[in-house]
Structure 1
Amino acid sequence: MSVKLGFDDISIRQDEWHLVQQDRDSFLQELTAKRHRDAYQYWLTRSPDNRLPAREDLDPVDIHKLLPWINLVDVVREKGNVRLRQRLIGTGLVQRFGRDATGAWFDDIYHPDYLQDHCHLIREVAETGLPSLTRIRYPDQEKRHVIYTRLMLPLASDHKTTDMIMQVMVFD
């Protein structure tokens, strides 16, 4: 069953700011939240020869403190299009957003306005293979704005083409 969230009576503001990694050292300095620094540094250690790590390169035991705040997004390339699917949503995120959409396609669960604002950033990470950091406002189930910062880290089964994105959230 698909349920689209309708937020017609509140504005969805996206991209209060958005930062893309240009070089590793300066990007790390921009990560002020410990959770983001820890995730990024771990991701770097799993990047063989500066290539993208695969999901299989990540060991949940190594990042157990981050798991409640991780969202894995499948990047599925079909006939020239990119579709996004919620692969895994951490328990902290489920509690914070008030629902578990694991396994759902983005276009089945999100309002079209949110898709337009939200998905281009995820697709940008998928296409460039570069991590990014974004500060976002998003309405929760009670239609209150939740403000959070999202670190997006690309993953690639072949170490080249992004097929999954690990997102790590920190809430204000």
Structure 2
Amino acid sequence: MKRFASAPRISLDIGRDGVASIPDARLRTLAEYWFARRRVYGIPPRSAIDPLDFPALLPNILLIERIGTPPDERYRFRLVGTGVVAHAGRELTGRHVDEALPATYYDYVRLLNRTTLEHGLPVYSASLYHDEGNFVNGLTYRLLMPLLGGPEGRTAMLFVCQFWQRREDIGAWTGDWQSVAPEIRVISGP
């Protein structure tokens, strides 16, 4: 097996669409929640998000902080829901994202994070995920939303909700696992 000295670069088309295009109802509702706070605050500050407003989603919620600026930024898990911890098989809170993910997958996640923060809008993404042995385990889909954070009040946090459907589980998605391409869409409004 060939090892890379650095992760291959990812180049993907990034689409633009409205909230109605998000295929998962839970993520559509969360996008509407974010846009409702955006009308009041612009990009909402972290304090505008109340976890009591979406208790059923808490196991799948992540708060991620950007440290530094592109191209040398890093991302740190500030909060990781119990469902994410169970899926990852370890606690991620306080860890840097690049330390917790394989390099090739981190490139994709960094692209999602940068796209969300640069556009100042939610980003929906769906992709296959693999274990270290490169076997396709299932489908993951997520909604990333920018938040203002830090002492300067700049866009420096990501509010994320992520779900997985394992290949062996019967779920909403029944497509051909071999034909799935990563999907990234900036969500421009309700």
Q: What's the TM-score once normalised by structure 1's chain length? A: 0.76
1:68 matched to 2:59: yes
Q: Displacement of 1:146 after TM fit?
A: 2.9
- Report what 2:89 is aligned to: 98
Partner of residue 166 from structure 1, selected from 159, 173, 176: 159
Residues 27-63 of structure 1 deviation map (CA, whole Å, 9 limit, x = unaligned): 1111221210121111112114461001111111111
Q: Displacement of 1:92 after TM fit?
A: 1.2
Separation of aligned partners in 2, 1:123 and 1:79: 8
- Report what 2:46 is aligned to: 55
- Report what 2:130 is aligned to: 139
Q: 1:81 to 1:20 in 2, by over 3 A?
A: farther
Amino acid at match of 2:149: S
- Structure 1, unaligned runs of 5 or more: 1-7, 9-13, 22-26
1:38 matched to 2:29: yes
Give RMSD over aligned pairs: 2.9
Q: Give 3-state SS (helix, strand or coil) of 1:66's partner.
A: helix
Partner of residue 150 from structure 1, selected from 108, 117, 142: 142
Amino acid at match of 1:169: Q
In terms of Rg, which structure is larger?
2
Separation of aligned partners in 2, 1:126 and 1:79: 11
Partner of residue 82 from structure 1, selected from 52, 73, 83: 73
Separation of aligned partners in 1, 2:35 and 2:163: 19
- Structure 2, unaligned runs of 5 or more: 4-9, 166-190
Q: What's the TM-score once normalised by structure 2's chain length? A: 0.70
Separation of aligned partners in 2, 1:128 and 1:65: 28
